[in-house]
Amino acid sequence: MTAAEQATANIGVVGLAVMGSNLARNLASREGNTVAIYNRSYSKTETLLTEHPEAGFVPASTYEEFAASLSTPRTAIIMVQAGKGTDAVIDALTEAFEPGDIIVDGGNALFTDTIRREKAVRETGINFVGAGISGGEEGALLGPSIMPGGSAEAWQTLGPILKSIAAIAEGEPCVTHVGTDGAGHFVKMIHNGIEYADMQLIAEAYDLIRQGTGATPAEIADIFAEWNKGELESYLIEITAEVLRQVDAKTDKPLVDVILDQAGSKGTGVWTVQTALDLGVPVSGIAEAVFARAVSSKPAQRAASSALPGPSEIPVVADKAAFIEDVRQAVYASKIIAYSQGFDAIVAGAEEYNWDIKKGEIAKIWRGGCIIRARFLNRITEAYAENPGLVALVAAPYFTEAIGGTQDSWRRVVGDAAAAGIPTPAFSSSLAYYDSLRAPRLPAALVQGQRDFFGAHTYKRVDMDGTFHTLWSGDRTEIEATDSH
């Protein structure tokens, strides 16, 4: 048989661990798709074939066979371990594929790697698309949120396929062409950063309610289930209620009480913060969430510090229902800040890397399939539709009003937590960021004075143009200086 005769598949998947095999099954379940599959070790291919004969997969045991089984332009989605694994597969596919074909990396790649890979692959005439995919195993199988980058040409072929497997939110598929080269993976990285903040805020709320009111995990599960009917409705609130309700079969205790309190991470939160630092965008809520996991995972430091003194008097919560409502409002306000900071990072990234990212479209494709799917994403889409040049999401009328309504509760929660010695890094830093943004004057003026004193870094004045320096070690007169900010 000739290669053209063998070419029966319109889409291929390389990497058949949990994400890849579920994505392959999702693809196969959609009208019109025939899916070629390849995995480095053939045993995973065999298992998938045996367990899912209904999918009609076209298996391959070599990259050459895989390429031959795909009709042109060949389109393959890589779902392998991010990093070296991805590079190895890209190298093999660029050998086996031809100009005009499309290689999609659906793994969690660092966006700068995607920019590098896209540039290298483009030189061979093959299209390379870095696509962020969110939704975990279940999303991959039933419909994820997909954030593809790459060229407009590749999107022409790929768009309909990705639309067919993406989650549907309010009748629209949760996928859009985010921008060129690394734009998709950049946005996926920010999505994960927001996810860190969202999870931390919910965890802080749980901790405050438990310590403040003595409610049991099961009772807090009911509180979260109730919250999930209102403006906080989201996948993360929903699953938190389920985790809190779970009882450990071995001990009969709430599962949350037998899970070691050291949170792990796979790196996308760290990437978000590192990138935001490079871009000069404050993503303090996300950063505190990343740091909170780091603190939790330092058992030696925690043990050595366990005898440090706390407050001499712990305030008592007089009105439990009012306190719980305050906490709910604090979650809402801090969550608005986390999303606002995340979108600020997207705006800054788009500017730095020349991506035409439609912020409202991003909020739309996060409404379904992904981990941070939430009711209030529609409000973000509306805010950017009303004002595409919005400089801070939090300053959009809807969010200004929403966050304004939480003020007293938010401040009480942060104050009460500090008084009680309960750590709320994400609540507190979000409030500090909010107050920094709204402050008419910041003590940054003093910092500029200090910088000028020890390093002659100069400063600007509020009352005249120009750049100035005070002769601190001389007669302390002010001179005009060249800008050395």
Which residues are identified as catalytic? 188, 195
Stretch near ligand NAP under the rule CB under 6 A, chosen from 1-9, 15-23, 65-73, 453-461: 15-23
- Strands 172-173 and 168-169 turn out to be antiparallel
Q: Provide the minimum distance between the beta carbon of 136 and ligand NAP in the complex, in angstroms, as a whole number.
A: 4
Using the Cα atoms of residue 113, residue 119, residue 122 and residue 124 in order, give the sign of their dihedral. Answer: negative
Nearer to ligand NAP, 182 or 425 (CB): 182
Q: Which residues pair with 148 in a beta bridge?
A: 131
Largest CA distance in the chain: 91
Nearer to ligand NAP, 17 or 471 (CB): 17
Nearer to ligand NAP, 88 or 392 (CB): 88
Residue 137 engages ligand NAP in binding (rule: CB under 6 A):
yes
Instruction: Give the 3-state secondary structure of residue 4.
Output: helix
Stretch near ligand NAP under the rule CB under 6 A, chosen from 12-20, 275-283, 334-342, 474-482: 12-20
Which one of residues 49, 100, 124, 136 is an interface residue with ligand NAP (CB under 6 A)? 136
CA torsion 150-153-155-156 (nearest 10°) is: 180
Nearer to ligand NAP, 100 or 136 (CB): 136
Residue 133 engages ligand NAP in binding (rule: CB under 6 A):
yes
Nearer to ligand NAP, 92 or 256 (CB): 92
Helices (H), 319-473: 320-353, 359-365, 377-386, 397-404, 407-420, 425-438, 444-455
Residue 77: closest CA among 99, 122, 109: 109
Binding residues for ligand NAP, rule CB under 6 A, total 22
> Do residues 35 and 9 touch, judged by C-beta distance below 8 A?
yes
Residue 79 engages ligand NAP in binding (rule: CB under 6 A):
yes
Residue 81 engages ligand NAP in binding (rule: CB under 6 A):
yes
Q: Provide the minimum distance between the beta carbon of 331 and ligand NAP in the complex, in angstroms, as a whole number.
A: 25
Residue 103 engages ligand NAP in binding (rule: CB under 6 A):
no
Residue 304 engages ligand NAP in binding (rule: CB under 6 A):
no
Residue 18 engages ligand NAP in binding (rule: CB under 6 A):
yes
x-marked contacts with ligand NAP along 406-445 as a string, rule CB under 6 A: ----------------------------------------
Kindly tell me the burial class for residue 41, based on how many C-beta atoms sit within 10 Å of its own C-beta (0-12, 13-18, 19 or more): exposed
Residue 20 engages ligand NAP in binding (rule: CB under 6 A):
yes
Instruction: Give the 3-state secondary structure of residue 32.
Output: coil
Angstrom distance (rounded) from CA 165 to CA 140? 8
Kindly tell me the burial class for residue 239, based on how many C-beta atoms sit within 10 Å of its own C-beta (0-12, 13-18, 19 or more): middle
Neighbours of 473 (CB within 10 A): 8
Q: Provide the minimum distance between the beta carbon of 110 and ligand NAP in the complex, in angstroms, as a whole number.
A: 11
Phi, psi angle pair for 83, to nearest 5°: 105, -125
236: left (phi over 0), alpha (psi -120 to 50) or beta: alpha
x-marked contacts with ligand NAP along 357-396 as a string, rule CB under 6 A: ----------------------------------------
Residue 82 engages ligand NAP in binding (rule: CB under 6 A):
yes
CA dist list (Å): 390 to 82, 111, 138, 375: 34, 24, 34, 21
Residue type, 333: A
Which one of residues 7, 9, 11, 16 is an interface residue with ligand NAP (CB under 6 A)? 16
x-marked contacts with ligand NAP along 21-60 as a string, rule CB under 6 A: ------------------xxx--x----------------
Residue type, 339: Y
Residue 88 engages ligand NAP in binding (rule: CB under 6 A):
yes
Residue 267: closest CA among 202, 196, 181, 369: 196
> Do residues 181 and 118 touch, judged by C-beta distance below 8 A?
yes
Query: Which residue minimizes CB distance to ligand NAP?
Result: 107
Stretch near ligand NAP under the rule CB under 6 A, chosen from 83-91, 123-131, 193-201, 437-445: 83-91
> Do residues 330 and 410 touch, judged by C-beta distance below 8 A?
yes
Q: Provide the minimum distance between the beta carbon of 114 and ligand NAP in the complex, in angstroms, as a whole number.
A: 12
Residue numbers 236-255 binding ligand NAP by CB under 6 A = none
User: Residue 283: which residues within 8 A CB-CB, separation 6 or more?
Assistant: 193, 272, 273, 276, 341, 342, 344, 345
Q: Provide the minimum distance between the beta carbon of 88 and ligand NAP in the complex, in angstroms, as a whole number.
A: 4
Can you give the binding site for ligand NAP, defined by CB under 6 A?
Answer: 15-20, 39-41, 44, 79-82, 85, 88-89, 107-108, 133, 136-137
